[in-house]
């Protein structure tokens, strides 16, 4: 059936990408050439044996699934599902080929439909439409990420973006010592230089260990070690290091994985700086390392739940700072893994031998990190 006046159609299209970014003349052309089709539940909209695709479908209402079709008919299992505002079949139209799956309405569904000739004209005249149709998911991801980042920035404070190189976060030259330096001299250096760490280096300036203020109590004070003890006996050997040009997001991921608050920056293996959690998240409300430790050391399940709830705030802040999808999802996965592991530990401690033997499995995107 025809759509009638394009005015209401324009209002609907402007709710979705890429139509909300198309030039007015191109969007008006699209709205004027659409027809509205109705497909009741379980009706097949397109099949591979029908030949090359002839129409673009934009779902107005309802849902459509792509289901594999074999010798025994159409599978009940969906390969994909699309809802309002989504389009199909982009690849088949552009490559002049049949659809790969049976397209089935899974509920009463209305679709706007654009004939092939009008689709080709719009593809040629609208750069936004063409870019979306040829790049598809990549364009959608970029646009969504830009919008999410804009919203996130409005809610959180912003320092340097975590896509910046680590050397951008270095505030001063690193405070160093030899591995045989007495610990009291390192304490004096921390106090006078107002830093939270001292890096022990060899004669070539390569980091061999690191001593932080957090190490002082458990490694020096409580064991009552003499202040003349060489730093080599209390430092953390082989400190975690990254190239100075590595992205700050890489440092954030390592901090989350290892629960450390300081990383050494190296050029050709030689120490050039130290970056702390405070440097990376100076203006953030949720600290990466603090959150990791809160999860790992949660005394009970309610405390763990409160700590895990802060993951959302941390993610929001990192999106505001421009962290891209790959490092962001790895950080989320790491924190989720910490949460699951701690929940299991707490349950085992409470149940003792009351639980049967079990295996914990993580599937899907969580399992792939």
Q: How do the pLDDT tens digits run along the chain, 369 residues long?
A: 444 456 788 889 988 888 888 899 999 999 999 999 999 999 999 999 999 999 999 999 999 998 888 778 888 887 888 889 899 998 888 888 999 889 999 999 999 999 999 999 998 999 888 888 876 545 555 555 555 554 554 444 344 456 778 888 887 899 999 999 999 999 999 999 888 899 999 999 999 999 999 899 899 999 999 999 999 999 999 999 999 999 888 888 788 778 788 999 999 999 999 998 877 765 454 566 778 888 888 888 888 888 888 787 777 766 655 666 777 788 888 888 999 999 999 988 888 777 788 888 888 878 877
CA distance 244 to 213: 23
CB 241 within 8 A of CB 205: no
CB 243 within 8 A of CB 265: yes
Q: What tokens appear for 343 in the block?
A: 């929940």
CA distance 311 to 8: 41
Say how far residue 328 (Cα) sits from the centre of its chain: 3
Q: How many helices (H) and strands (E) does the chain have?
A: 14, 17
């Amino acid at each position: 059936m025809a759509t009638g006046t394009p005015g209401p159609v324009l209002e609907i299209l402007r709710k979705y990408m890429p139509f909300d970014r198309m030039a007015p003349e191109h969007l008006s052309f699209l709205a004027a050439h659409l027809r509205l089709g109705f497909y009741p539940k379980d009706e097949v909209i397109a099949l591979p044996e029908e030949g090359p695709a002839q129409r673009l479908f934009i779902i107005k209402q309802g849902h459509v699934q792509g289901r594999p079709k074999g010798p025994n008919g159409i599978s009940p299992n969906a390969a994909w599902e699309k809802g309002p505002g989504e389009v199909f079949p982009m690849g088949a139209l552009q490559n002049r080929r049949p659809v790969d799956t049976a397209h089935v309405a899974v509920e009463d569904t209305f679709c706007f439909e654009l004939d092939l000739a009008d689709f080709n004209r719009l593809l040629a005249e609208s750069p936004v439409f063409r870019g979306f149709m040829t790049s598809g998911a990549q364009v959608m991801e970029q646009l969504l990420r830009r919008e999410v980042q804009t919203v996130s920035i409005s809610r959180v404070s912003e320092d340097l973006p975590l896509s910046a190189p680590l050397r951008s976060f270095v505030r001063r030259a690193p405070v160093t010592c030899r591995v045989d330096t007495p610990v009291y001299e390192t304490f004096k250096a921390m106090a006078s230089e107002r830093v939270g760490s001292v890096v022990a280096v060899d004669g070539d300036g390569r980091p061999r260990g690191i001593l932080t203020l957090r190490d002082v109590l458990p490694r020096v004070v409580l064991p009552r070690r003499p202040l003349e003890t060489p730093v080599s006996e209390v430092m953390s050997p082989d400190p975690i290091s990254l190239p100075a040009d590595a992205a700050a997001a890489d440092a954030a991921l390592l901090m989350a994985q290892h629960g450390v608050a300081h990383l050494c920056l190296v050029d050709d293996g030689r120490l050039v700086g130290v970056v702390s959690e405070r440097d990376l998240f100076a203006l953030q409300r949720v600290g990466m390392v603090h959150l990791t430790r809160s999860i790992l050391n949660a005394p009970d399940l309610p405390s763990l739940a409160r700590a895990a709830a802060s993951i959302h705030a941390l993610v929001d802040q990192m999106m505001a700072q421009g962290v891209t999808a790959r490092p962001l999802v790895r950080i989320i996965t790491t924190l989720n893994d910490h949460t699951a592991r701690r929940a299991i530990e707490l349950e085992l401690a409470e149940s003792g031998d009351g639980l049967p033997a079990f295996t914990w499995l993580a599937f899907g995107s969580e399992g792939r990190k």
